[in-house]
Amino acid sequence: MPETFILIPGRTSKQGCGISEGKFKENYLAETSVLQVAPQDMQRLQLAQGDRVRIRSEWGQIEIAVTAAKSDELPPGLLFIAYGDQSSRLMGGDTHGSGMPTSKGFDVELEVLSPRPAE
């Protein structure tokens, strides 16, 4: 069953370094194509590092690997992804008269694609 989360795309220093190294290089591509999930949510959804999920927003959807957010960086219910092609796919074009599309803090549905078999 898909579950609603709030997604926060943002900068990371790895993503920033990746821009200088090159956007078609491994570091940038790796950093921008992984979704950070709160450890509690990982556990609850029985997700392990590298498992894939489908993320659907009002405007688009992606399939992406997950990783547990470090220590207590993310509270349960929040997801984080470094800015890049994947996060842009979930953004809408409307800016509500501001010039800025809603690019942080929007609702997404998460659906687990490859749950680990119960141990």
Partner 1 sequence: MATTADQATQSELKIVEDATCTFCGCVCDDITLKVQDNHIVEAKKACILGKAWFLNHDIEDRPSCLIDGQPAELEAGYRRAAEILCQAYYPIVYGLSDSPCEAQRVAVSIGDWVGANIDTTTSVCHGPSGMAFQGVGEVTATLGEVANRGDLIIFWGSNPAESHPRHFTKYSLMPKGLFVPNGRKDRTCVMVDVRKTKSAKAADLFFQIRPRKDFEALWTLRALAKGIPLDAQLVEQETGIELSRWQELMDKMKASKFGVIFFGMGLTMTRGKHCNSEALLALTRDMNAYTRFIAKPNRGHGNVTGADNVVAWRTGYQFGVNHARGYPRFNPGEYTTSDTLARREADAALIVASDPMSNFSQPAREHLASIPYIALDPKDTPTMRGAAVAFTVATYGINTGGTVYRMDDVPIPLRPAFPSPHPSDQAVLEGIERYVLQMRGVGVL
Residue 4 engages partner 1 in binding (rule: CB under 8 A):
no
The helix (H) or strand (E) run that includes residue 107 is strand 106-112
Please choose, from the candidates 37, 49, 40, 46, the residue with its C-alpha nearest in 3D space to the C-alpha of residue 108.
37
**For partner 1, which is the closer residue by CB, 101 or 114?**
101
Candidates 8-16, 42-50, 111-119; binding stretch for partner 1 (CB under 8 A): 8-16
Q: What DSSP state is assigned to residue 115?
A: P
Structural tokens at position 81: 């992804």
Residues found near partner 1 in the complex (CB under 8 A) = 6, 8, 10-13, 16-24, 59-60, 71-75, 78, 80, 83-85, 88-89, 91-106
